[in-house]
Structure 1
């Protein structure tokens, strides 16, 4: 069996996620998941996003800081497949690369963590909330304008250590990462994504390959169509809004039976202004799901105008 080299970031969360994908790929190839490293070895690649911890991503270059080195390795042929957190991927496709599969999604919600408080409403006046996300900042300030936002970068373990050390009174993290790392017991409550939309693609993984390699049998085995349709809609909105770390944008899609519902919002950095759209489409396919996101994103962009871009660095 030809070896399939899988590229990943080196954080504990990235390795945990990629290890799960690795075992799924090996099983789909007819191999023994217990011997996954022999069939589909992991190749750890350091990214600029991992190395830069002292400022927001937009100050250093944006979302592509988590993907560029891995995608370059894929284009060079150093690896055969890349695994990303979909929410870290910019909306624009990279020439020569394609999404090979979107596996079943984990919990897409934001999780509220605190040593002393159960929910965002329980926080005392002027409490310190840790996040590096402009979206999370704006959403929480929209309901708690008294909060002090503490810029908190780093991997999951680093952020949990900052919370324990008292750097902030509470913190927001993606529930999916905590679940995958077996850290769900740190979660005190969840942010309702029907009210405060999650990041587009949050909770989903993206398996990326060279476009010429599309169509391998294992790709179909790992692909989850319902997740794919939801993230197609969310990333359509992302594309229309040109959302990056410069914009406070959320998009959350659900598929119930044959009905896909998409909620999209953009906010001013201080949370005082929110632009929102919610719409449904029946019997969606990849094109209609994406078009729904594009349409709602375009509507919000037209309404918000130049106020949409909130952070210029």
Structure 2
């Protein structure tokens, strides 16, 4: 490390999954730069989203609830970098901050965890399914409108504990989170993306820094995955043109295939009974434009009772 940067401080939430992500960034930095363990410090910061467990994020203020206090610490220079789940981030960042790095993306698919059985079809009519995601709820209702979907907040372990205790018959979680925690065996079935398109940013670890902090940003160059960055540029632009506040069921996924960006986005009515989809391809150097155009086209397609007019 240089004398001007004696210790790099990473800010993160304190859940087991958030800590896994922060340690993954820390380990990548240590390996890339040949540093000793003392060179990077992880600071746990409790966020508003961690404190609110009795209602959906859409009712409490949206995505920024999981990043607000961490971003404040970054702006106040109490930390040097913030490590987030990309899907938790608002599409508009606070002035003075930007996304500067992404780890290689994990599997983006959702997993269904059942208390009994091994497929969605095994859920009895009226079974109680817990989720905090409007997107997952709408996609589930689209296929199984007979199910009872209720709010289930908390970290992965908390949700699985409530499932095991019999409070719920099933829940849906990101496969990436289960895998990172060594709990992928809990997945009863990995859901097909044809029916369960993931959240924007799902499976990606995002690293945020202060703008014009070039010394810090340069440290992330060797650990950043360009393909993940391009995919998230498309997805976040798409979401930003719609409603990125968690109040509308929105899904989107981009990937680089044979040198081309392939993007699929979807918007659903909350009850899942109306579904709108868009598919677009384009060159990587037009990632931002592709996402923005897809978002504008989707907004023109979706009725105002689902996404209010801009």
TM-score in terms of structure 2 length: 0.94
* Per-residue deviation, residues 69-119 of structure 1 (Å, max 9, x unmatched): 000000000000000000000111221011111110011111110121212
- CA deviation digits over 1:149-171, x for unaligned, max 9? 02100011100100101111111
Q: Distance in 2 between matches of 1:192 and 1:236?
A: 24
Specify the SS of the correspondent of 1:264: strand
Residue 30 of structure 1 is aligned with which of 25, 30, 34? 34
Question: Within 5 A, what are the aligned runs for 1:14-29?
Answer: 14-29=18-33
Question: CA–CA distance in 1 between the matches of 2:249 and 2:158?
Answer: 24
Which residues of 2 match residues 1-313 of structure 1 at below 5 A? 1=1, 2-32=6-36, 35=37, 38-214=38-214, 216-281=217-282, 283-285=283-285, 288-309=286-307
Question: Once the two structures are superposed, what CA deviation does each residue of 1:151-206 show, in whole Å capped at 9, x if it has no partner?
Answer: 10001110010010111111100111111111111011112224321000100011
| SS of aligned partner of 1:50 | helix
Task: Work out whether residues 301 and 308 of structure 1, in 8 Å CA contact, stay in contact via their aligned partners in 2.
Answer: no
* Distance in 2, Cα, partners of 1:217 & 1:27: 15
Q: Deviations over 1:282-304 (max 9, x none)?
A: x312xx11221211111111121
Whole-Å separation in 2 of the counterparts to 1:96 and 1:127 = 47
Contact kept, 8 Å, 2:141 with 2:271, in 1: the verdict is: yes
Q: 1:307 is paired with a residue of what secondary structure?
A: coil
User: Structure 2: how far apart are the matches of 1:63 and 1:116?
Assistant: 32
Equivalents in 1 of 2:40, 2:13: separation in Å? 16
CA displacement at 1:130 relative to structure 2: 1.0
Counterpart-to-counterpart distance in 2, 1:210 and 1:146: 48
Q: 2:139, 2:195 within 8 Å by CA — same for their partners in 1?
A: no
Aligned-residue offset at 1:254: 2.1
* Aligned partners of 1:84 and 1:206 also within 8 Å: yes
- The CA deviation at 1:217 is 3.3
Three-state SS of the structure 1 residue aligned to 2:212 is helix
Q: CA RMSD, aligned part only?
A: 1.3
Unmatched runs of 5 consecutive residues or more in structure 2: none
* Runs of 4+ in structure 1 over 4 Å off: none
Distance 2:112 2:212 in 1: 42
Q: Give the Cα separation in 2 of the matches to 1:235 and 1:225.
A: 15
Rounded to whole Å, the distance in 2 between the matches of 1:198 and 1:145 is 20
Q: Across the two proteins, how many residue pairs are aligned to each other?
A: 303
When residues 171 and 197 of structure 1 are mapped into structure 2, their CA distance, relative to the original with a 3 A threshold, is same
Partners of 2:190 and 2:23 lie apart in 1 by 26
In 2, are the aligned partners of 1:28 and 1:221 still within 8 Å (CA)? yes
Question: Any idea what SS the aligned residue of 2:252 has?
Answer: strand
Instruction: Find the aligned partners of 2:208 and 2:59 in 1 and give their Cα distance.
Output: 26
Unaligned runs of 5+ in 1: none
CA contact (8 A) 1:194 1:263 kept: no
